[in-house]
Amino acid sequence: MKKISFLLCIVSFAFAGKGSVYSRYGVGEVNMFMSGKNIGMGNTGIALFGETHINLLNPASTASISRTILAASYQFRNFTSEDANGKSIFGTGNISSFALAFPVYEQKKMVLSLGLFPYSSVAYEMQKRQTVGGNQVAQTLDGRGGITSAQLSLSYAVNSDVTLGVTTQYLFGSIYRDQAITFLTGNIFGGSFIETDSYSGVGLTLGGIYSGIDKALGFSDTKSMNLGATLFTGSSMSLDKQSLRNYYTGQDTSATNDLSVDLPFGVTVGLAYLKNKTVYAADLQFQHWASFAVNGITPAEMQNSFRLGAGVEFLPSSDFVGDEIYKRLSYRFGGYVLRSNLELMGESINEIGASAGMTFPMSAETRVHLALEYGIRGTTSSSLVKDSMFRFSISVSASELMFIQPPIE
């Protein structure tokens, strides 16, 4: 049965594809997903250290990991998109991230982590019907794919208060945009056009966490508050564009290999505060999408994005394996507002959402993080589309003592 479960997971990955029509623009929908634990708190965590999970939001946050952790996440998404023309419901799920982290030099809290997760995703399918020259024609627009980030991170503790980290991201992937034209009346040849954009580039994320900023500023006698920040340098990516065109008397392919894409820089700032086994966190994210450009040209619809998220986590009252399960659970709630990187029809495409989550231990070394998220993006006014999104995430973190040399007797 375990094998069947695994196969079903793979199959669900293959079905990944359909989503918001807003993913047509730019490099697609920029992924905010990191792990179920972050999502439960409104996807915050810039200033949070992770001891039992890998926090991909900030490379400095892995510094507190003392054992090897392997994490994987699955997310199911359900979209209800509506506008004046009607309503569409799409659902899809896929394995959304893999990560591995292990300490390499405990004295300096140097933890190396590897991660693989989607940076952006394109998933839409539309059908336009119109009458041209007295004939009914259906135009199908289908987009899929996205950019994946394969990254290597390293944390480093400068002292007991300041932790730094750096992530090198190799961004790669292909976005496929297909169009098919089918005439429903008249003996007319339709045609199709398949465009494949292949991206590759390298980016860098620098991060830091200051532990006990409250004490350093004299607000408190204890270190209860962390301040975190990251800087994504952006990436100058290469873009290979290949087209396949079917026309009446034949088919041809053309390729353009010397295009470039400027992925813009971004900064995040976050605060985390611990009091009475309750963690409060808030993050602010900014990315300068106004400087996004394909071959030096910025699409008219791009704008800078901002995201404000806040969440709270109630830590388990006990970590003792022998205690009852309910004492070992942690609960989270959060919310966020997002000004996305799109401005269409003179209106910014904004998103607001709320989330909840929990973590329960599967064993002494394994944690399962569940998160539910509901968000609304866009509006039906101004000929725009309103997406109602429901996301369900499962992240599993398993830890083990590996790569650590046992003390010599």
Partner 1 sequence: MKPYSFSLFFLLLIASGCAEKPNSVGNDLPGKEGEFAILYDTIVTTRVATYRTSFSPGTGLSNLAGRIAPGEEAITLLNFIPGGTIDSLDGASIDTVELFMTVNYRYFTVPPPVLFNIVEVKGSWKQSTFMIDAMPGLPLENSVLGTFSDTMKFASRISAQITDTAAIRRWALSYYDTSSSIPDFYGFAVRARTGDTTGMVGFSTFGNSTAYVPSLFIRYTKNGRRDSLTFISGEDTYGIISTVVPALHQLTVRGAFGIRSKVYFNHRLLLDTVNTGTQTILNKAVLELTLDTLASSFGGFSPDTISALLGISDTDLDKSDSTVFAFGLKKNAAAGQLRVYAFDVTKIVDRWVQSTVPNNGITLRWAAEFGTAEKAVFYSRTDSSIVKQPKLLVTYSKK
Residues that bind partner 1 (CB under 8 A): 1-2, 4-5, 8-9, 11-12, 15, 18, 21, 24-25, 76, 78, 81-93, 124-130, 132-133, 135, 137, 139-141, 177, 179, 181, 183, 186-191, 193, 195, 243, 245-250, 252, 299, 301, 344-345, 383-385, 392
The three-class DSSP label of residue 25 is coil
Cβ proximity to partner 1: between 93 and 207 the closer is: 93
How near is the Cβ of 8 to partner 1 at its closest, in Å?
Answer: 4
How far apart are CB 320 and partner 1 at their closest, in Å?
23
Q: Cα dihedral sign for 320, 325, 327, 330?
A: positive
Strand partners, 68: 400
Does residue 29 contact residue 20 with C-beta atoms inside 8 Å? Answer: yes
Least distance (Å) between residue 398 CB and partner 1: 16
DSSP letter for 5, please: H
As measured in angstroms, the least distance from the Cβ of 4 to partner 1 is 5
- By C-beta, is 23 or 113 nearer to partner 1? 23
Task: Please tell me the distance from the alpha carbon of residue 212 to that of residue 224, in angstroms, as a whole number.
Answer: 6
Give which of 264, 223, 186 is closest to 47, Cα–Cα.
223
Alpha carbon of residue 89 to chain centroid: 21
Pick the closer one to partner 1 by CB: 95 or 267.
95
User: For partner 1, which is the closer residue by CB, 65 or 371?
Assistant: 371
CB nearer to partner 1: give 9 or 164: 9
> Token digits for 395?
């992240």
User: Are 178 and 197 contacting, i.e. CB atoms less than 8 angstroms apart?
Assistant: no
CB of 21 to partner 1, least distance (A): 3
> Least distance to partner 1 from the beta carbon of 130, Å?
7
Helix, strand, coil percent content, the chain, rounded in steps of 5: 10, 60, 25
CB of 266 or CB of 378, closer to partner 1:
378
How far apart (Å, rounded) are the C-alpha atoms in residues 309 and 188? 52
Shortest Cβ 118–partner 1 spacing (Å): 17
Strand ranges, E, within 346-385: 347-361, 366-378
- Compare residues 77 and 109 and give the one whose CB is closer to partner 1: 77
Q: What is the CA radius of gyration of the chain?
A: 23
Please state the closest distance from residue 304 (CB atom) to partner 1, in A.
19
Give 84 or 408: the residue with its C-beta nearer to partner 1.
Answer: 84
Residue 378 CB, nearest approach to partner 1 (Å): 10
Question: CA–CA separation, 126 vs 350, rounded Å?
Answer: 22
The Cα 320–Cα 325 span in angstroms is 10
Least distance from partner 1 to the Cβ atom of residue 126, Å: 5
Partnered with residue 227 across adjacent β-strands are: 210, 271
Nearer to partner 1, 5 or 363 (CB): 5
**Is 91 or 318 the residue whose CB approaches partner 1 more closely?**
91
CA 11 – CA 15 distance, rounded (Å): 7
Closest CA to 184 of 247, 130, 141: 130
Task: Please state, in angstroms and as integers, the Cα–Cα distance from residue 132 to each residue in 188, 190, 212, 248, following that order.
Answer: 11, 12, 67, 18
Residue whose CB is less far from partner 1, 7 or 202: 7
CB proximity list for 405: less than 8 A, separation 6 or greater: none
Nearest to 283 by CA among 58, 37, 60: 58
Helices (H) and strands (E) in the chain, counts: 3, 18
Rounded least distance, CB 351 to partner 1, Å: 16
Q: How far apart are the first and last CA of the chain?
A: 43
